[in-house]
Amino acid sequence: MKIRRPSLVILWLLCLSALEARSIDPYKVLGVEKNASQREIQKAFHKLSLQYHPDKNKNKGAQEKFSEINNAYEILSDEEKKKNYDLYGDEKGNPGFDAGNPGGHGGYSYAGNPGGHGGYSYFTNGGPGETHFSFRPGGWQSAGGQGASQGFSYHFGGSGGQSPFNFGFDDIFASMFGRGRFGGFESARSQSGSKGPSKSIRSINSQVFRKEVVNKGMTWLLLFETPTLMNNHLESVVEEVGHSLEGVVKVGRVNCESEPSFCKDLGTYPRKVPRLFVYAYKHGDSGSLVEYKGDLIAKDLRTFCRENLPQFSKRVDLNHLKFSFGDGDSLPGVMLLSSKKDTPTIWRALSGLYLKRFNFYDLQVHDVSDPAIRKLGINALPAIVGSLSNGEKHILKAGISVKDMNTAINELSALLDGFERQNKKSDSSRARKAQTESVNEQIPLLKGANFDDLCGQSSPLCIIGAFRSSRARKELESILSVVSKKSFSRKRSSSSGNRDSISYALLDASKQPAFLNAFDKSGYKSNDKVLVAYKHRKGKFAIYAKELNTEEVEQFISSVLNGDVTFTKTRQPPKLT
């Protein structure tokens, strides 16, 4: 493909510009000494990046300077790259200009043509979409074209034409000629500047914020912006962080132009630049917005998000292992045993998602052969042990394998959901059993062996529920269990010391017919259930044989205590077999 001769000078300048950019000393760019600490390097980068940020600095050359600053920091902030640069002058760890890009995976080279023909070549090793220009006396030609033996070639390549310094063919055009098209090539910066909001970042309005963000246990990375302040580079960083932390952090954007009052109420309205916040759970059970004010670098933002993940899991010391799980509250407990020094990211995320549903614990284990671990029945790490609210322990999973954080969160959530259902079932069964035992204990069955204790001389008044069927017994048990706890029925009698003035009992009238015959010849055989108020000391009784319910029984007993009920002498002393 022939290129017009006027382009020759421009492309030659491009070659020299790229060569010069590649040889820039990152220490000089940031203005630090070679023995500078990471803190000094970071401070220098932060100061310069603010000074030359394209959103703030519109001077000519500021954009290129900003790119140089980022490239320099990329090398010096990474200890391995910094070491390689100090040793070889190349952050990839290989001496030579293009040795850092073997196999044609991005990079560029410049070389004089052999044989002294005065030709040169400059090219980036790339893959699909690579561009390779050659210069020969007489003009530019595409690679492989026939021409004179003298000249040089320029070859762009790699994925998107990007160099190890994120500096490629499209950036060269953008930096020299601004945005727009030149020579049939469109600036990548122009393309990113014209695209709309990223579709992978969810739009959040005030309604969604209240329903899905506020106090739901999930950590959110939220971008607050307006259409005029939209920053595609910032969005790409947010996307990258959201993708790397998928499962433990969700990302969203808020258009403050469409909902200004919402953003102002939150204190997040952007004035000159977009603002980034993490909805975090650092203080108590409620979440709050924490603003990110660091450098616009994915790894720094990722670290910030991790630091703001929930921390509801209690760290347990193996030497003082207490598997109490909640110290008596009704929540089940789950403990993660792993070799991690700190609480793992996934476990912190789960502790937020299941807040107030589980008590979370985690424990560092160096060896599963430890007696304390073997006692729990663990033979592989990582492992999760659960404890029901009744103290019963279960190994939920051992030897956990994690494919990625998102998959792990889903799988472990299903595990916790199942254990929660098991705990509720256990609680329900235990509650029913306790209720039955409580009723039986509070309202004992009247027998010959306990008659004197329940209804003898020591009891001024004995309330007896007599039944002839199992259904009647349950009804009387329920009614008397409630009534016996009422304050009016727990009055103290001066003559009985510490004994209650009223005692309660049940009577199986079908097995003890003589007992009711002492009150009436019929023995009240026509009634499935009756209530007897019996005063052993005076040998008197009163019968309530109407419809029995809690309210009516309460009223009857109150009337007895107030002296409004007429008592009758017994025909004979009641007896029990």
Q: Could you count the other beta carbons within 10 Å of the beta carbon of residue 529? A: 20
Contacts of residue 542, defined as CB under 8 A and 6 or more positions apart, other chains included, come to 532, 533, 560, 565, 566, 567, 568
CA distance 270 to 256: 8
The answer to whether residue 345 scores a pLDDT higher than 60 is yes
CA distance 474 to 436: 10
Residue 550 in tokens: 């809690």
Name which of 70-74, 135-139, 344-348, 384-388 the model is least confident about: 135-139
Q: What are 152's strand-pairing partners?
A: 120, 135
Phi, psi of 529 (to 5 degrees): -155, 140
The answer to whether residue 226 scores a pLDDT higher than 70 is yes
Phi, psi of 148 (to 5 degrees): -70, 165
- Report yes or no on whether pTM surpasses 0.75: no
Report, at the CATH architecture level, how domain 26-88 is classified.
Orthogonal Bundle (1.10)
Residue 321 in tokens: 């292992």
Say which CATH topology domain 448-569 has.
Glutaredoxin (3.40.30)
CA distance 134 to 156: 11
Backbone dihedral region of 503: left (phi > 0), alpha (psi from -120 to 50 degrees) or beta? beta
Percent of the chain with pLDDT over 90: 41
Residue ranges of the chain that CATH labels 1.10.287.110 = 26-88
Q: How confident is the model at residue 436 (pLDDT cuts 50, 70, 90)?
A: low
Q: What are 122's strand-pairing partners?
A: 110, 154
Say which CATH topology domain 202-308 has.
Glutaredoxin (3.40.30)
Contacts of residue 266, defined as CB under 8 A and 6 or more positions apart, other chains included, come to 289
Backbone dihedral region of 328: left (phi > 0), alpha (psi from -120 to 50 degrees) or beta? left
Residue 417, H or E segment: helix 405-442
Question: Dihedral sign, CA of 301, 49, 90, 110?
Answer: positive
- Looking at residue 201, its amino acid is I
Q: Could you count the other beta carbons within 10 Å of the beta carbon of residue 249? A: 24
Residues 261-302: pLDDT tens digits? 999 999 999 999 999 999 999 767 789 999 999 998 999 999
Query: In angstroms, how far apart are the furthest CA atoms of the chain?
Result: 139
Say which CATH topology domain 314-435 has.
Glutaredoxin (3.40.30)
Reduced 3-state DSSP string for 59-118: CCCHHHHHHHHHHHHHHHCCHHHHHHHHHHCCCCCCCCCCCCCHHHCCCCEEEECCCCCC
Q: How confident is the model at residue 453 (pLDDT cuts 50, 70, 90)?
A: confident
Q: Is the peptide bond before 128 cis (omega within 30 degrees of 0)?
A: no
**Taking residues 453-477, what's their average pLDDT?**
90
Residues 516-548: pLDDT tens digits? 999 988 888 889 999 999 999 899 999 998 888
Q: How confident is the model at residue 408 (pLDDT cuts 50, 70, 90)?
A: very high
Residue ranges of the chain that CATH labels 3.40.30.10 = 202-308, 314-435, 448-569
The answer to whether the beta carbons of residues 500 and 462 sit under 8 Å apart is: no
Question: Dihedral sign, CA of 330, 420, 281, 339?
Answer: positive
Phi, psi of 32 (to 5 degrees): -125, 160
Contacts of residue 218, defined as CB under 8 A and 6 or more positions apart, other chains included, come to 249, 250, 349, 352, 353
Reduced 3-state DSSP string for 291-325: EECCCCCHHHHHHHHHHCCCCCCEEECHHHCCCCC
Q: How confident is the model at residue 321 (pLDDT cuts 50, 70, 90)?
A: low
For position 487, what pLDDT does the model report? 59
- Looking at residue 442, its amino acid is Q
Residues 190-199: pLDDT tens digits? 333 445 566 6
Phi, psi of 433 (to 5 degrees): -65, -40
For position 521, what pLDDT does the model report? 87
Mean pLDDT is highest, among 116-120, 221-225, 449-453, for 221-225
CA distance 126 to 178: 24
The answer to whether residue 494 scores a pLDDT higher than 60 is no
Residue 9, H or E segment: helix 7-22
For position 152, what pLDDT does the model report? 38
For position 462, what pLDDT does the model report? 93
Contacts of residue 456, defined as CB under 8 A and 6 or more positions apart, other chains included, come to 536
At 133 the three-state DSSP class reads strand
At 428 the three-state DSSP class reads helix
Q: Is the peptide bond before 95 cis (omega within 30 degrees of 0)?
A: no
Residue 424 in tokens: 């509720």
Mean pLDDT is highest, among 30-44, 129-143, 318-332, for 30-44
